[in-house]
Amino acid sequence: MTAVITLTTAGLNVGPFDIYSNIDGFTIPFETNVSKNILLSGFTSSNVPDDTTIIRVVSLNNCTNYYDIVVPPQTCYRYIPTNGSFIFSSVYKENSTYTYGYFTDYEESGLLTSYKNLVKLNPDLTLDTSFNVGTGFNEILYSGSSIIEQSDGKIIATGTFTSYQGLSANRIIRLNTDGSRDTTFNIGSGFSNFTQKPSIDLLDRIIVTGIFSSYNGIARNCIIRLLPNGNVDTSFVIGTGFNNTTLSAIVNEDNSLIITGYFNSYNGVPCGNGITKLNSIGTIDTSFNVGSGFNPYVTNNPTYLTRIEGETSFYAVGYFTSYKGVSENRIIKIDRFGNKDVSFNSGSGFNESVSNIEVVWGDKLFITGSFSSYNGVTAYGVIVLNKDGSIYYTPGANYQHTPIIIGNNLFGRLDGGCFDLLFTKS
């Protein structure tokens, strides 16, 4: 199959061109003002069918005078399906990354391999075939799900799924480094409802957030700490727990926890809107003063946390526009006492919500969301900040969905789903 390109001016060596197709017996325009240099390099239009290998160039002066340009195969790495194949997040490693989201396959220049919802990639975007999920999860690993890596390389996954590789796994599982189920992690009947992002403390205990009311038949409202073998840690006493969904938890050096979510009370006691601190035994730490917490306080406006290694302060992002009654547009750095850390200056912040924040390259903040600007600077839903709030990098174009980072390289999706190198950290 060929796509026909008609010159807008006479002659074979001039441009720009209008792109047309002879598909299905009729001619329709695809895209205008495509330079011949782009055509000759093999990058035409994402709307030209994938199996197009020849571009036919026709002169307006003499329609019988044409020549064909053979388009070299394009190296294309993408998730399938491309329509809605969101990458929701990643676990960044030195020379690889785990990415998860809504996809069933991964394509390497036309070669499809089944990798349902979770995949591990090499630095050149090729599959790391040492990790194979097989038939994978029965549910999408979406933004309310997560994976984390233990120090031994094993993966803990949480979310809405109820099975993995066809066997029961109610909303939590631990995988070996090859993608197989770790049978030493005993979850029993698992969670009663969906789970959110987990954390691991200094004693290798696993903290799980979510909207569940029980785990393996044991009552636990929206927060739990598990022992490394999957059993409930009964030394973490939560009473009646939280009155609504918990979303994110980070661990402090004394194994206390900062928790965010849709709650405003814990164990029957009021706490800040969507944020509180628990001691390592499960009681509220009253020295952590969050005041009124985050606002607006609505149960569909999430707040997520992260911390740069070696710091005691942490970063919070989400939908909020104030913290403790003071304007803070969707990002803030908070110290160990619950106060704003003024070493981080976001200026006017983000104009729309932030959906994810990750620490990359040691001390940079990789942030994605529905925003289009940060502190008055255009940012198309993707930005990398320095730890003081200044901009380290933002793409100059609107790339589809969430980019990924492997090693020093930041890759973004172009139209049609193929990844392209956006930025290389020096």
| Nearest partner of 400 among 85, 34, 44, judged by Cα | 85
Please report, for the chain, how many H helices and E strands are present, in that order.
Answer: 1, 41
- The percentage of the chain sitting over the pLDDT mark of 90, rounded to a whole number, equals 61
Distance CA 174, CA 189 (A): 14
Measure the N-to-C terminal CA separation of the chain; round to a whole number of Å.
42
Tell me how far CA of residue 299 lies from CA of 150, 244, 319, 422, in angstroms.
Answer: 31, 8, 11, 35
Mean pLDDT of the chain: 83
Alpha helices in 184-343 (DSSP H): none
Q: How confident is the model at residue 298 (pLDDT cuts 50, 70, 90)?
A: confident
Q: How confident is the model at residue 401 (pLDDT cuts 50, 70, 90)?
A: low
The predicted-structure confidence for 267-282, as pLDDT tens digits, reads as follows: 999 999 999 999 999 9
Region 375-381 average pLDDT:
92
Contacts of 386 (CB under 8 A, 6+ apart): 363, 364, 365, 392
340 forms beta bridges with: 334
Region 163-187 average pLDDT:
97
- Can you point out the beta strands (E) in 191-330? 199-200, 206-209, 214-215, 218-219, 223-226, 246-251, 257-261, 265-266, 269-270, 275-278, 294-295, 303-306, 314-318, 322-323, 326-327
- The percentage of the chain sitting over the pLDDT mark of 70, rounded to a whole number, equals 79
Amino acid identity, residue 188?
G
Q: What is the pTM of this model?
A: 0.82
Number of Cβ within a 10 Å radius of residue 354: 26
Domains of the chain by residue range = 2-70
Q: How confident is the model at residue 145 (pLDDT cuts 50, 70, 90)?
A: confident
Q: Is pLDDT of 119 > 50? A: yes
Q: Classify strands 294-295 and 322-323 as parallel, antiparallel or unpaired.
A: antiparallel
Number of Cβ within a 10 Å radius of residue 353: 16
Region 75-103 average pLDDT:
80
Region 125-139 average pLDDT:
93
